[in-house]
Amino acid sequence: MHTEQSGARRRASTAAFAGSVLEYYDFSLYASAAATVFPRVFFPGASPFLATMQSVATFAVAFLVRPIGGSILGSIGDRFGRRRVLVFTLLLMGFATVCIGLVPGHGTIGWLAPVLLVVLRILQGIGASGEFGGATLVAVEFAPDRRRGLLGSLPAAGASFGGMLGTLALLAASSATTGEQFFAWGWRIPFLLSAVLVAYGLWVRLRLPETPSFREADQEGRTARTPIRHILRHQARSVLAIIAIVTAQTGFGYFYLVFVVSYAGTHVGFSRTETFTGLLVAQISCGLLIPVFGWLSDVVGRRPVITFGMVASGVLAFPFFVLLQPDWPFGLWLAMFLGNGVAASAIVAPAGTLVTELFSTQYRYSGMGLAREFGNMLGAACIPLLAVQLAGVDGETTALSVMLVVLALVGLTGVAITRAGHDTTSQPRTPSRDRSALPSAER
């Protein structure tokens, strides 16, 4: 029996990790391409500032549909099971990414090119809205109580390694082609290679059993018919807290992974290779440190680790830009390591597990989908666009630093309004109902 449970746990961890690798391989590709390729391929003729704004806007549009997608897919996952939703999200994300690699540029089909790009980006957003939350649920619901932080951090680590693979693929395509070849067809190859990851991820997920928590709830007839309604009526405080935390978490993450990539080349003058190397430093360090912070959250609690990440992000807001000096790529790499690799990792590692522990089994997927994706919309969609506007044409950084400080305060507010004294690592779970995950009103 123990061997069977261990095997299921390994398959769950692999499925969670593999799906996140695919999701963020796709997202990293799009983020990097939006900053370096799409302005020229899909928005030619515009000024560099306007082309960057338009390109980053296509990146942001996916996040605008994510609260809707997260709510719908989360409700389906709470009613019919996690596994079915995760197979669907994997296929949808992979399909959209491969198709992006096939969309002709503006020079071939005119205005239809950016329209198709936006449509496919929206499909990516719908797929992603149910992917990360579902993967985290699978990892946490299979995990033993004392390892929920560590195993729940695996999807976030997978996201970093997926981003690293995406950046490596784009960097390899850039290095193997001339400038004209890269913009003509070289950038498309990494998008088409997404099909390989989809095939592997699908093989893993089709072998995944349903989680023990959902099976138990289903057998006892405790699956909710209207989970979103329940959450909005009885757990609005938890929803607001999660929105604030995730707004800061994703705001910091995509500030580094989208805006800084564009800013480093446009305003500071780093080459494409130097910029992509900085992105790799951020992603590799993040992937390695996330499990460390996840493990630490099992020892000291989720909230202290997240608080450290928020404070570190705020403290780094002004020194970050001091490190970005022309002809000194090491400064860029160090800044990306500290900002994304250390500070952002400390936020994202325990955040997914914290969110799952705020909701009981029958509402958990819906709660994560609704709250997390609203935070994604505010942080990941708005912060890179706001940063581009604040930097403007001259690249002034004071307003950008202030924005990062405000973002850290928003995240700290979210941590503060989670239930006072709620130590998710020290409360036992009643096997029949996960009572440590329930708000006081439901106990």
Give the mean pLDDT per block of 10 residues along the chain (443 residues).
Answer: 63 80 79 77 74 72 84 87 87 90 88 88 87 85 87 89 84 84 88 88 82 78 77 86 94 87 84 84 91 95 95 95 91 94 94 87 84 88 85 79 96 84 39 37 34
Q: What are phi and psi of 174, to 5 degrees?
A: -65, -40
Residue 217 pLDDT: 77
44, 85, 148, 365 from 138: Cα distances, Å = 44, 11, 11, 10
3-state secondary structure of 205: helix
81, 217, 433 from 224: Cα distances, Å = 11, 9, 14
Q: Which helix (H) or strand (E) holds 30?
A: helix 2-36
Exposure of 1 by Cβ count < 10 A (0-12 exposed, 13-18 middle, 19+ buried)?
Answer: exposed
Distance CA 132, CA 86 (A): 9
Query: Do the Cβ atoms of 156 and 348 come closer than 8 Å?
Result: yes
Residue 413 pLDDT: 95
204, 377, 378 from 66: Cα distances, Å = 25, 7, 11
Place of tokens 């996140």: 20
Which pTM does this prediction carry? 0.82
Residue 429 pLDDT: 40
Distance CA 120, CA 123 (A): 5
Place of tokens 């460390």: 292
Q: Which are the contacts of 405, defined by CB distance < 8 A and separation ≥ 6? A: 314, 317
Distance CA 355, CA 299 (A): 17
Residue 206 pLDDT: 83
Residue 423 pLDDT: 39
Exposure of 178 by Cβ count < 10 A (0-12 exposed, 13-18 middle, 19+ buried)?
Answer: exposed
| Tokens, residue 258 | 């989208």
Distance CA 311, CA 305 (A): 10
